[in-house]
Structure 1
Amino acid sequence: MRWFASILITVLLTHFGNTALFADDFYLDRSVYKNTLRFEIDNDVLLKEDSNFSNGWSFQYHSACYASWEDTGAPKFVNWVGNHLPSFGDDESIVLYGQGVGQNMITPGDLTNPNPPPGDLPYAGTLTYTLNWQKFNQRSAQIFQATVGILGKESLAQQFQEIVHENLGLGESPQGWDSQRDTEPILNLAYAHFYSLMHIGSYTDGWAVQLSLAPAAYLGNLSTAVEMGLGIRFGWNMQEGFNAFPAPPGLGFYTNMLIPKPEVSSPHGVELVIGGKATGLIYSVVYDGSVITSDDRNIDYENFVVSGMIGLNYHYYRFFSIRLAFVQETDLLIEDSLPPTQPGDEKTRLDNSYSTFMIDFHF
Structure 2
Amino acid sequence: MRANVPSSSLLLSSLLFAGAALHAPAAAAQGREACTNGHTRLPPTVNLRVDNDLFGGQDQGYSNGIQLTLVSPNLADYTDDPCIPRLARWINRHLDALQPPQGFEQRNMIATFAQGIFTPTDYSRRDLIRDDRPYAGALLAGLGYNARTGDRLRTTQLQFGIVGPSALGKQVQNAVHRALGDKTFEGWDNQLHDEPVFRIVHERMRRFAPEDAAERRWSWDAVGHYGGSFGNLATYANAGMEVRFGLRLPDDFGSTPLRPAGENTAPTTHYNTGDRPFAAHLFLTSDVRWVLRDITLDGNTFRSSHSVDKRPFVAEVGYGVALMHGRWKFAFARYHSTREFEGQKQTPVFGSVTVSRAF
Are the aligned partners of 2:145 and 2:156 in contact in 1 as well (CA < 8 Å)? yes
- SS of the residue corresponding to residue 203 of structure 1 reads helix
Cα distance change, pair 315–235 in 1 and its aligned pair in 2 (3 A): same
Are the aligned partners of 1:187 and 1:220 in contact in 2 as well (CA < 8 Å)? yes
Say yes or no: does 1:313 pair with 2:322.
yes
Q: Which residue of 1 aligns with 2:57?
A: 48
The code of the aligned residue for 1:78 comes to N
Percent of residue pairs bearing the same amino acid type? 21
The code of the aligned residue for 1:269 comes to A
Say yes or no: does 1:289 pair with 2:299.
yes
The code of the aligned residue for 2:337 comes to E
Aligned-residue RMSD, C-alpha: 2.4
The code of the aligned residue for 2:201 comes to A
Q: Which of structures 1 and 2 has the bigger CA Rg? A: 1
Are the aligned partners of 1:302 and 1:334 in contact in 2 as well (CA < 8 Å)? yes
- Provide the rounded CA distance (Å) in 1 between the counterparts of 2:131 and 2:147: 43
What's the offset of the Cα at 1:263?
4.5
Map Cα deviations across residues 79-114 of structure 1 (whole Å, 9 max, x no partner): 3545x658x233342010111211100001011111
- Provide the rounded CA distance (Å) in 2 between the counterparts of 1:146 and 1:268: 34
The code of the aligned residue for 1:126 comes to A
Cα distance change, pair 326–210 in 1 and its aligned pair in 2 (3 A): same
Which residue, out of 172, 192, 205, partners 2:203?
Answer: 192
Cα distance change, pair 44–154 in 1 and its aligned pair in 2 (3 A): same
- Provide the rounded CA distance (Å) in 2 between the counterparts of 1:190 and 1:270: 29
Larger CA deviation: 132-141 vs 151-160: 132-141
Q: Which residue of 1 aligns with 2:77?
A: 68
Larger CA deviation: 261-270 vs 96-105: 261-270
Larger CA deviation: 103-112 vs 350-359: 350-359
- Provide the rounded CA distance (Å) in 2 between the counterparts of 1:52 and 1:326: 15
What's the offset of the Cα at 1:305?
1.4
Say yes or no: does 1:280 pair with 2:290.
yes
Cα distance change, pair 69–79 in 1 and its aligned pair in 2 (3 A): farther
Q: Which residue of 1 aligns with 2:93?
A: 79
Q: Which residue of 1 aligns with 2:144?
A: 132
What's the offset of the Cα at 1:29?
1.0
The code of the aligned residue for 1:211 comes to A
Map Cα deviations across residues 146-172 of structure 1 (whole Å, 9 max, x no partner): 111111111111011101112321x32
Q: Which residue of 1 aligns with 2:232?
A: 221
What's the offset of the Cα at 1:313?
0.6
Q: Which residue of 1 aligns with 2:17?
A: none
* Matched length: 315
Give the alignment of 1:1-363 within 5 angstroms.
29=40, 33-68=42-77, 70-71=79-80, 73=85, 74-81=88-95, 88-169=100-181, 171-199=182-210, 201-204=212-215, 206-247=217-258, 253=260, 255=262, 256-261=265-270, 263=272, 266-295=276-305, 297-316=306-325, 318-335=326-343, 349-363=345-359
Give TM-score scaled by structure 2 length: 0.81
Cα distance change, pair 282–126 in 1 and its aligned pair in 2 (3 A): same
Unaligned residue ranges in structure 1 (runs of 5+): 1-23, 336-347
- SS of the residue corresponding to residue 79 of structure 2 reads helix
Are the aligned partners of 1:200 and 1:208 in contact in 2 as well (CA < 8 Å)? no
- Provide the rounded CA distance (Å) in 2 between the counterparts of 1:323 and 1:310: 10
What's the offset of the Cα at 1:173?
1.4
Larger CA deviation: 62-71 vs 232-241: 62-71
